[in-house]
Chains A and B, each alone.
Chain A
Amino acid sequence: MFRIEETTVNGDALRSELAVPEAGGCAIFEGWVRNSNEGRAVDRLDYEAYKVLAEREGERILAEAVERFGVERCLCVHRVGELAIGDMAVWVGVSAPHRGAAFSACRYIIDEVKSRVPIWKKEHYTTGDTEWVNCAQCAGHGHALESSLYARQTRLPEVGSDGQEKLKGSGVLVVGAGGLGSAALSYLAGAGVGRLGICEADRLEASNLHRQPLYEFGDVGEDKALLARRRLATLNPFVKIEIHPESLTHANADRLLEPYDVVVDCTDDFNTKLAINDAAQRAGKPAVFASIYQYDGQLQVMQPSSSSACLRCLWPEAPSPLDTGTCEQAGVLGAVPGVFGAMQAMETLKLLLGLPGLAPDELGLVDLMSMEMRKLRITRNPDCAGADGCVRTSAGPELEIDYWSMPAQARGGLVLVDIREAEETLASPLPASDVVTLPLSGINVDSPPLDRERQYALCCASGQRSRWLADALHARGFAGVRSVAGGLSAAHQGK
């Protein structure tokens, strides 16, 4: 229940509403009026709400918290009217079987309420003047504070205040908030790019932390898109962060890219890279790619034009995941994606500022073990390039299925095939009966032990290898082959 109240909030009464037999504890947050803000002495506050919409949006947030964290009860009450120093402005309480979910949900609710619910705060200062909080920065009063963030970069003759305005007026979509994305997002937010989109569907795992300094140990298990937005908003509150908690595919890439000027590929999956490449070509927008393998990496800036090479000029189809390797399989030191993500941020800033960068016919190769850097000349592939550039218009059939959310009857018509390697299967078997195991490393795609007339659901750990195999088999006439979207991890997330 979310409520707007005009009189004193009674925390004790609210707390008793949280108690249910299923709950093993509760987490409570109380927000109080304090006597200063940003160095100014505060005398009292006025809160004002758009009540109907505030309660509607507040209820949505509470429902999201229940859905996301599996907690028992969530309550939030927000005051309106005149409040004195020490008065309670907001009360949030969550009860849950375990403390982790209660703390996480409580934090989620207060963060979302502050940024989404239409409630406004007017501060009355001891000097007698007043100000609506958060309105100053958009009305230009906060200009001095904002511009001080960029003092060191506007000093550069290549940036200056004109360049800073260009960055503020730009929108960049970063696909993947992992190792590359942590670095790219941090530097793009710090530089003051006006709008940053984050496309990321995964939850944080402990094994991410050594290369993803956007996140904290205590956040393991939570949605990375939400965590990244929270962190970046504290880094630079003047940047508008938009999150897209979904995986980019050929089917949704056009929609995701549409509101942005540049797209930055921070994924480790070749199918996604090609989907970004194709959509950027169609939209006529530049894309900044980086790929790493252990200590090596490469960087490519794709500029849609008739003379520029695209990712497909180099790789017409996705190479086998066995050849490219993900961080999970090949291993990586955290600093490596950090270096390349920072280089992607640099190339993106140069694109936005109109500065010379990696040329569209160059592939930058960096070996961080030997510290050798070189640039390879790449040419447009005449088989790839159409009259108007490398546009690939057909996105192909949709080969991904949400296997775990399909009804049992629909699953029954599909043979579930576990294509992970034997050690992975042994460590965590698929949660289903009648699974055929067929490790990818043993499959010859030209003569797979499959029946062309039957329907298969291929499953790996995250859906990357299975997506590649489904594509490869489909191209070879196995029309009934599908890939389990999200792989085994989607089953664990209950998607």
Chain B
Amino acid sequence: MISVEVQYFASLRELAGCQRETLSTGAATAAELYDEVKAKHAIHLCRSSLKVAVNDDFASWTAPLADGDRVVFLPPVAGG
């Protein structure tokens, strides 16, 4: 198990009911971590419409996670 900090923005923050949380997880990748988070908070957004950032930069869903990583799931953006 590793410990990761997950941060939420916009619609995901409202669905998760918190800004950030520390999770102890067996997830090997960001994709697996999202599946856990999705189930935990009953989030209906599908992964294909999200992006993921690890340690403040965009990352691949299949990149391995390490202990202490900061992970952010990004809903579709709407700047401008």
Which residues of A does B touch, CB under 8 Å? 31, 47-50, 52-53, 56-57, 78, 89-90, 110, 113-122, 132-135, 137-140, 240
A53 touches B53 (CB 8 A): yes
A117 touches B53 (CB 8 A): no
B75 touches A132 (CB 8 A): yes
* Residue among B51, B56, B80 making CB contact with A113, cutoff 8 Å: B80
Which residues of chain B are near A119, meaning CB under 8 Å? 77-80
- The stretch among B21-29, B31-39, B41-49 that forms the contact with chain A is B41-49
CB-CB under 8 A for A120 and B78, given A53-B72, A132-B10, A138-B49: yes
Which residues of chain B are near A240, meaning CB under 8 Å? 48
Identify the closest chain A residue to B46 (Cβ): A138
B72 touches A120 (CB 8 A): no
Q: How far is the CA of A137 from the CA of B49 in the complex (A)?
A: 9
A134 touches B79 (CB 8 A): no
**Nearest CB on A from B13, distance (A):** 8
**Nearest CB on A from B73, distance (A):** 10
Identify the closest chain B residue to A132 (Cβ): B11
Write 26 A-B pairs (CB below 8 A) sorted by A numbering.
A47-B79, A50-B74, A52-B56, A53-B56, A53-B58, A56-B57, A78-B79, A110-B80, A114-B80, A118-B72, A119-B77, A119-B78, A120-B11, A120-B75, A120-B77, A120-B79, A132-B14, A132-B75, A132-B78, A134-B76, A134-B77, A137-B49, A137-B76, A138-B45, A138-B46, A138-B48
| Docked complex: B44-72 residues within 8 A CB-CB of A | 44-46, 48-51, 53, 56-58, 72
Q: How far is the CA of A444 from the CA of B46 in the complex (A)?
A: 59
CB-CB under 8 A for A118 and B74, given A48-B10, A53-B53: yes
Q: How far is the CA of A31 from the CA of B78 in the complex (A)?
A: 12
CB-CB under 8 A for A118 and B77, given A48-B10, A53-B57, A138-B49: yes
Other A-B pairs, 7, CB within 8 Å; known A53-B56, A114-B77, A120-B9: A114-B80, A117-B77, A118-B51, A120-B75, A135-B45, A138-B45, A139-B45
Identify the closest chain A residue to B75 (Cβ): A135
**Nearest CB on B from A202, distance (A):** 27
Identify the closest chain B residue to A120 (Cβ): B10
Total contacting residues, chain B, CB less than 8 A: 24
Which residues of chain B are near A56, meaning CB under 8 Å? 56-57
Q: How far is the CA of A48 from the CA of B7 in the complex (A)?
A: 13
Identify the closest chain A residue to B7 (Cβ): A50
B46 touches A114 (CB 8 A): no
Which residues of chain A are near B77, meaning CB under 8 Å? 114-120, 134
Which residues of B does A touch, CB under 8 Å? 7, 9-11, 14, 44-46, 48-51, 53, 56-58, 72, 74-80
CB-CB under 8 A for A122 and B10, given A78-B79, A133-B78, A134-B76: yes
Identify the closest chain B residue to A79 (Cβ): B79
Which residues of chain A are near B10, meaning CB under 8 Å? 48, 120, 122, 132, 135
Identify the closest chain A residue to B72 (Cβ): A50
A121 touches B79 (CB 8 A): yes
Most interface-central of B7, B49, B79 (chain A CB within 10 A):
B79
Which residues of chain A are near B80, meaning CB under 8 Å? 31, 78, 89-90, 110, 113-114, 119
* Residue among B14, B46, B78 making CB contact with A121, cutoff 8 Å: B78
**Nearest CB on A from B11, distance (A):** 4
Identify the closest chain B residue to A29 (Cβ): B80
**Nearest CB on A from B77, distance (A):** 6
**Nearest CB on A from B43, distance (A):** 9
**Nearest CB on A from B79, distance (A):** 3
Identify the closest chain A residue to B8 (Cβ): A50
**Nearest CB on A from B45, distance (A):** 6
Identify the closest chain B residue to A115 (Cβ): B77
A138 touches B76 (CB 8 A): yes
**Nearest CB on B from A341, distance (A):** 27
**Nearest CB on A from B57, distance (A):** 7
Q: How far is the CA of A122 from the CA of B76 in the complex (A)?
A: 12
Q: How far is the CA of A375 from the CA of B67 in the complex (A)?
A: 61
